[in-house]
Structure 1
Amino acid sequence: MDAASTMEIKDNTFSRQFETLVDQGLVSVEYSFQEKKIFLTKINVPETFEDEEFISNFLKNIMEIAIERKLKVVPILPKIVVFFKKNPVYKELLPPGIRL
C-alpha cells in the first residue's frame, strides 16, 4: 500500500483545515468554502518536515475528498497550482474559467 491510501485525514471544520499527523507534528491544508467551491489557501508543516512526496500524497487525498463531495477546487497557493500541473488527472476539479 502506498502512503496516499494509508493516510488518515481529518477535516477539522472548526479550524477550516484538513489535517494529518506525521512524526514531527501536524501537517494541514487550510481552506475556505464559497458555494460548491473549496479554496485551498495555505499548507502548514512542522519546521523540520521536508517530505514533498508526502505533501503530494496529502493533496491527492484532499482531491479525492473534493470528488466525493462534488466540490470544485480553487488553488490559491502556488505550491497547489504546481500540484495541479504535475497531476493533470485532477484538472477536472478546477472551476470553469480557471486555467493553469
Structure 2
Amino acid sequence: MEVKDNSFARQFETTTAEGLITIEYSLQERKIFLTRINTPEEFKNEEFIDNLIKTILDNAIEQRLKIVPTYPRIVQFFKKNPSYKELLPPGIRI
C-alpha cells in the first residue's frame, strides 16, 4: 500500500479502485492528532482501513512521534490493537 503524506492538505492519502481515502491529521509538538477518515460512500473494506492506520502508525514509530487519536474509528483501532498503545502520549487512555 502506498501512502502519501500531503502535508499541504494535512492528510495521509491512498487510492483504491473505489477512489481516494484520506486520514486527516494535525501535527503539534511531536504529536500527530488523527482527526478524521474520509472514504468514498461505497467503500466498506474495514480491513483496508486497519492496514492504512497501521502503515501510518509504523511511520510514526520511525519518526518517534506520538499519536493522539481523536476520531472514533481510530480510537476503536487502538482498542483492538493494544500493541500500538505505546504510541499514545502520557495521560492519554483508551
% same residue: 65
Q: Give the counterpart of 1:67 among 61, 70, 76.
A: 61
Moved beyond 3 Å, runs of 4+: none
Unaligned runs of 5+ in 2: none
Q: CA deviation at 1:64?
A: 0.4
Unaligned runs of 5+ in 1: 1-6
Deviations 1:30-50 (A, max 9, x none): 000110100000000011100
Question: SS at the partner of 1:50?
Answer: coil
Q: Give the counterpart of 1:33 among 22, 27, 30.
A: 27
Give the whole-Å Cα distance in 2 for the aligned partners of 1:41 and 1:62.
Answer: 13
Residue of structure 2 in register with 1:42 after alignment: 36
Q: CA deviation at 1:93?
A: 0.2
Deviations 1:3-53 (A, max 9, x none): xxxx00000001000000000110010000110100000000011100000
Number of residue pairs matched by the alignment: 94
Does 1:8 find its partner at 2:34? no
Which amino acid is the alignment partner of residue 20 of structure 1?
T
